[in-house]
């Protein structure tokens, strides 16, 4: 049976199709960051590091964590592309990454909107 951590990473991997293998420590850092943000946005999460499981979490909350991890990946990719923008070296010139930059920006914004909608549905509102 998969742990909650593995399930969240599975959601991230299902959303992002990448040819690069990421370090497990980096994925773990993104997971920890997603849990902290979720705690600020919706409710605190109690996570046991030994079992890699939460004490009480719903499947849609795990999905939200996986989407947040994907958002961190896209932020990193956007940073990489921005660093390539206008790079001119002795033997190489990388100035035509404008389309890549726009595609990553659009993908980032789409995922951000989806996460905002998911979080809004999970919050307890005063008009309920």
Overall pTM surpassing 0.85 (yes/no): no
CB 33 within 8 A of CB 91: no
Within 13 Å of residue 36, how many CA atoms lie on the same side as its CB?
A: 6
Domain hosting 96: range is: 4-122
Catalogue the E-assigned strands of the chain: 47-48, 53-54, 87-88, 93-94
Domain-located, residue 9: yes
Residue 127 lies in a domain: no
- Within a domain: 128: no
Domain tally, the chain: 1
In a domain, 49, yes or no: yes
pLDDT digits (tens, 9 = 90+) for 9-25: 999 999 887 767 788 99
Inside any domain, residue 115: yes
Integer Cα distance of 61 and 110 in angstroms = 19
| pLDDT tens, position by position, 7-65 | 999 999 998 877 677 889 999 999 999 999 999 999 999 999 999 999 999 999 999 99
């Amino acid at each position: 049976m998969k742990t909650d951590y593995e399930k969240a990473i599975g959601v991230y991997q299902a959303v992002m199709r990448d040819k690069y293998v990421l370090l497990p420590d980096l994925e773990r850092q993104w997971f920890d960051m997603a849990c902290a943000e979720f705690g600020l946005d919706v409710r605190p999460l109690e996570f046991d590091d030994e079992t890699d499981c939460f004490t009480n979490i719903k499947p849609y909350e795990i999905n939200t964590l996986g989407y947040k991890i994907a958002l961190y990946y896209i932020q990193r990719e956007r940073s990489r592309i921005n660093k390539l923008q206008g790079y001119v070296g002795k033997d190489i010139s990388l100035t035509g990454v404008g389309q890549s930059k726009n595609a990553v920006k659009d993908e980032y914004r789409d995922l951000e909107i989806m996460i905002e909608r998911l979080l809004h549905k999970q919050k307890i509102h005063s008009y309920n």
